[in-house]
A and B are shown apart, each in its own frame.
Chain A
Amino acid sequence: MSPTVDIGYFALCLSLAAAAYALFACGLGAYSQHDGLVRSGENAALAHFGLLTLAVACLWYLLLTGNFQVQYVAETTNSALPMLYLVASLWGGQNGSIMFWGWLLAFFTVLILVANRHRYRSLMPYTVAVLSATSCFFVSMSLFAADPFKLLPFAPVDGNGLNPILQHPLMAIHPPMLYSGMVGLSVPYALAVAALLSGQLDSMWLRASRRWLLVPWMILGVGLLLGGKWAYVELGWGGYWAWDPVENASLMPWLAGTALLHSMMIQERKGMLKMWNMILVFLTYGMTIFGTALTRSGVIESVHAFARSQVGPFFGFYLSSFILFSAALLWIRRKELRAESKLEAFASRESAFLLNNWILLGMLFAVLWGTSFPVISEAFTGEKITVSAPFFNQVNVPIGLILLLLTGAGPLFTWRRTSTQSLKRNFRLPLTAMVVAGVALALFGIVDFYALISLSLCVFVAAAIGLEFHRGAAARQRSTGESYVRGIYGLLSKSRRRYGGYLVHLAMIMLFVGFTGQAFTVDREVVLRYGESAQIGRYTLTYESLAYGEDANKTVTMAALTLLKDGEVATTLLPQRHFYKVADQGTTEVSIYSALREDFYVVLVGAADDNSAKFQIYVNPLILWVWLGIIAFLLGTVWCLWPSSRERRLADEDRARTRRSETAPGWLPEIGLSTAGPPGG
């Protein structure tokens, strides 16, 4: 037996003690205004991170060296597994991923502590206490219900291997992204609780949380879509989103976070919705925990699995105490969370934001409802039912279309009130564009009801955003005399939040265009012999040959096909089937020819000895727009996040001021800043 197991296990135990101490010291220190205690607690949070890092490093070492006596290593890896997947198997199984989750949380705690140790000093003690409480929960679950260092009574010769469908490069980055996004959303929650506990209920906590919300939200969004990309290239059913409970579990906090991102703007500008924003931040965090509980406890498979699973009761306890705690906190502070101003007109940006919240939460509710309905049904009637993609598509398509409409319409309303004339002026062009586009699309033969509405609405939103940019640039041109193009750049760089937000909306249009393409998917199955061709729309597919290969991990069967598009050679497609020896399980490796208009997607279903093979073919229109949409989403959000020159100046001044007035240095190892000598000297 390796000492690494013991070191890892003890580091995990000690990290729990450190987190518990951080919770206690920061909480008590903040309550009694005892600076020394707070600092000690914050140092404990750092120690917690260090110890957990050691535990993670130990597990990584055990995975990489193939110590199969450790149950987790034996269950998730085997000796033939390539390096990349050995590294990724840290989060490939339940017990490892729970510890990894805890590690990410500790990492975020350290991040916020280092980043905000001066700026939002008064919020930090409670923030660290709340994050440490969450850490305590995850680490104790890791220790008592999902021990990754648990030993088998014997040392098997080899492990079971990572589930073959997870053996894909995207799987090495998609789960850590999702986890970072989900875990990161604990930070705004912690800041909100800190504001409630300390009674600093102005908008400071919101300002402090904006980036801590935006970054995890962005990572979660990209992670979701990368998961879709993985499903598209790995699962071989031609689509990217199956409304699987695991997918839904990460979509729900993203939707709640999206609602919060919008409604927090009302509070910043108008001092309204204070209570509501608190509820939303709790909902967002609660959804990350609830989603994890849903997918980790096995409750989806069967209600009875929940009680049997070891982590189930942990989640149940944590979720119920979280709900009680939040509700009590909000109740106590309810009077201090009143709105500072009133609504001046129904036709205003404020109302539009509320409608945005309504539809986003409506969608969240629909997803939550559909995901939990089988559980509820089984619990109450004993009957198992399935709620899968057809349900979610039918329910969410209309909701999504309303959301799209509001994406375009919302920004056309001005703050406070919008006069009828300006409404007319604002809506005239986008509506005209929408109608023209709708008629044109119908004439082009797009008669699918939802698709027609969706694409017309995309034009509406694009026109509305275009109009915003145009008016802004024209106004700048008039007032400053700069050129139109410079004007647009000026808008983008001076009002990063507003116009960056529009960039994200544009990314959403791209995504919706991509989603709409699904309505026109062509699905064909063909059997071809060597040299035979099949005609699918404007494509000609010719089966050329079949090849076999093998490595330590798997055997590979690969077909070669030539694809002609409108009679000209487009590409050679190489769909494969892999067969994983240890898992005794096959996977498909699809081959895709991708263009802006459509994807040509081929799956090798099977091959026979008489030189014939069966192929499943999908022609997926517009799907590339989904992947381009991810990139646009990422760029737009980064644009919003990037500090403006004014903000950088303010931050610099802030920093200079605090450095001058810092009277008691050395409470925290100021990374790279204060290593010059003994503190206080």
Chain B
Amino acid sequence: MHSHILRLWVPLTLAVLPATASVPTPEEIKKVAVDLVCLCGSCNRQSLATCICSEFAVPQRQRIGQFLQSGKSAEEIVTQYIAEFGVHILAAPPARGYSLIAWIGPFVGLIIGFAAVRLVLKRWRWQTPGAAEPAGVAATPKPAGTADYRRQLEQELGEFDEER
């Protein structure tokens, strides 16, 4: 029982001990840690800022605090972590080199999708409907430009009431 309480406590005492000048606050540490993930293996790579596992996240936040105190900048710390653990300690792929593709991909998808929607709409607008279907169904009467809203609404409501 007590052994595990002590285990939880070890990082905490470490955190309290070096109480010299300009000790980084937990908030300052988290500002750096938020760009990294926990690699303890059991938390599914949670953010290093929020993970509470005592095997990896807590001691590493501790270390970040020491780095900050020794005057290292956030970028320097992150660079050191990449050198130490590999690029997969970064929470998101760096926006440069080939992993820029990761960032661009979704937006390229959106743009292509939008272009496709435009194309489809244009084709629908000008194409005659499928020949397979009997004449008459397609020839729905067009409303005369500016139909009175109320009439249209009621007609629409009527249609909705009709359909199941």
Contacts and interface: CB of A to CB of B under 8 A. Distances in A.
Given A237-B52, A358-B117, A338 B132 contact: yes
Interface in B6-27: 8-9, 11-13, 16, 26-27
Interface in B34-83: 34-35, 37, 42-47, 49-52, 54
Contacts of A422: 149, 152
5 A-B pairs with the lowest CB-CB distances in the bound complex, closest first: A338-B130, A366-B106, A606-B8, A237-B50, A343-B124
A365 B121 contact: no
A385 B90 contact: yes
A585 B8 CA distance: 12
26 contacts: A338-B130, A338-B131, A339-B130, A340-B130, A340-B133, A342-B127, A359-B110, A361-B113, A362-B113, A369-B102, A369-B109, A377-B99, A384-B88, A385-B90, A386-B91, A388-B91, A395-B106, A421-B149, A479-B154, A585-B42, A586-B54, A605-B8, A608-B12, A608-B13, A644-B164, A646-B164
A340 B110 contact: no
Contact of B1 (A381, A495, A555, A646): A555
A380 B1 CA distance: 48
A346 B156 contact: no
A interface, how many residues as a size bin? 35 or more
A168 interface: no
Given A340-B130, A616-B52, A606 B138 contact: no
B35 to A, nearest CB: 7
Contacts of A373: 93, 101-102, 105
B138 A362 contact: no
A588 B156 CA distance: 55
A374 B91 CA distance: 12
B156 A415 contact: yes
Contacts of B153: 471-472, 475
A74 B114 CA distance: 52
A122 B87 CA distance: 56
A494 interface: yes
Given A238-B50, A422-B149, 13 more contacts: A335-B132, A338-B129, A338-B130, A342-B129, A343-B121, A359-B110, A369-B106, A385-B102, A391-B92, A394-B92, A585-B42, A608-B13, A616-B52
A313 interface: no
A354 B12 CA distance: 55
Interface in B142-162: 142-143, 145-147, 149-150, 152-154, 156-157, 160-161
A603 interface: yes
Nearest to A605: B52
A475 B117 contact: no
Contacts of B137: 271, 340-341
Contacts of B42: 585
A475 B109 contact: no
B interface, how many residues as a size bin? 35 or more
Contacts of B116: 358
A399 B138 CA distance: 36
Interface in A228-267: 235-239, 242, 244
Nearest to B164: A647
B43 to A, nearest CB: 8
A383 B5 contact: no
B113 A365 contact: yes
A525 interface: yes
Contacts of A339: 124, 129-130
Q: Is the interface of A mostly helix, strand, loop or mixed?
A: mixed
A384 B87 contact: yes
A264 B105 CA distance: 28
B30 A354 contact: no
B106 A365 contact: yes
A498 interface: yes
Contacts of A585: 42
A479 B86 CA distance: 70
B1 A390 contact: no
B125 A605 contact: no
A314 to B, nearest CB: 24
Nearest to B41: A301
A391 B93 contact: yes
Contacts of B114: 358
Given A338-B130, A340-B133, A373-B93, A389 B110 contact: no
B157 to A, nearest CB: 6
A386 B44 CA distance: 11
Interface in A182-241: 235-239
Contacts of A616: 52
A385 B88 contact: yes
B102 A239 contact: no
B92 A387 contact: yes
A373 B93 CA distance: 10
Nearest to A380: B98
Contacts of B52: 236-237, 588, 603, 605, 616
B134 to A, nearest CB: 9
A355 interface: yes
B96 interface: no
Contacts of B1: 548, 550, 555
A336 interface: yes
B30 A386 contact: no
A369 B99 CA distance: 12
A354 B117 contact: yes
A353 B121 CA distance: 11
Interface in A583-625: 585-586, 588, 603, 605-609, 614, 616
B61 to A, nearest CB: 10
Nearest to A344: B142
B110 A362 contact: yes
A341 B138 contact: yes
Contacts of B161: 494-495
Contacts of B44: 242, 244
